[in-house]
Amino acid sequence: MNLKILLIGMPGCGKTSLGKRAAKSLDFSFVDLDEEIEKSQNKSINDIFTENGEEYFRRLETEKLKEFCSVPQNKDIIISTGGGVVKNNINIENAKFLGGYIIFIDRPLNFIMEDVDTSDRPLLKDGADKLISLYSERYELYRDAADYIITNNMSFAEVLKEIINHIKTLSDK
């Protein structure tokens, strides 16, 4: 069976950038759920939140995640999720039921705050305080959902290597 690796974690923890690079190096397919939702609606996440509301966005998120976990892939795949995917437990249940393996990228908040542009993320428009409250609300959810946790407190190259090495151990099984 093909591997379906889901990357979860806070906005700005590195899901998209690390996922893309790891997939390239492992010769896996890669998909970013936020990007897929934007393509399917032909508008930005920001505009979806403003024009249709968060609830609408969350429904799309659940549908897309299920779609990418269900469609038989001819290749192993890494799926980068949106930061709020753990808000609805059905997402984690669906992913696990459909054979997904979940990696939590745990990046300390001070690192995230150094390079995340909060202005283009709808839930972070209110700045750093919102990020801190989201982190404390979600931390346990990320941990509980995870099959494996990677602490992203090192250089990009080092954490990338750790992700790739861990995924290789799964491929060998």
Ligand X SMILES: Nc1ncnc2c1ncn2[C@@H]1O[C@H](COP(=O)(O)OP(=O)(O)OP(=O)(O)O)[C@@H](O)[C@H]1O
Q: Is 138 annotated as a binding residue?
A: yes
Tell the smallest beta-carbon distance from residue 78 to ligand SKM (Å): 16
Select the residue interacting with ligand X from 22, 159, 163, 167 (CB under 6 A). 159
Stretch that binds ligand SKM, among 65-73, 81-89, 96-104, 141-149 (CB under 6 A): 81-89
Q: Is 12 annotated as a binding residue?
A: yes
Tell the smallest beta-carbon distance from residue 171 to ligand SKM (Å): 27
Q: Within 10 A of 120 (CB to CB), how many other CB atoms are there?
A: 11
SS3 35: helix
- How far is 170 from 173, CA to CA, in rounded Å? 5
Under rule CB under 6 A, residue 123 binds ligand SKM: yes
Beta pairing, strands 4-8 & 77-80: parallel
Q: Is 69 annotated as a binding residue?
A: no
Give me the helices (H) in 27-104, please.
33-41, 45-52, 54-70, 89-97
Kindly state the DSSP code that residue 85 receives in the 8-state scheme: G
Binding residues (CB under 6 A) for ligand SKM: these are 11, 34, 45, 82-84, 121-123
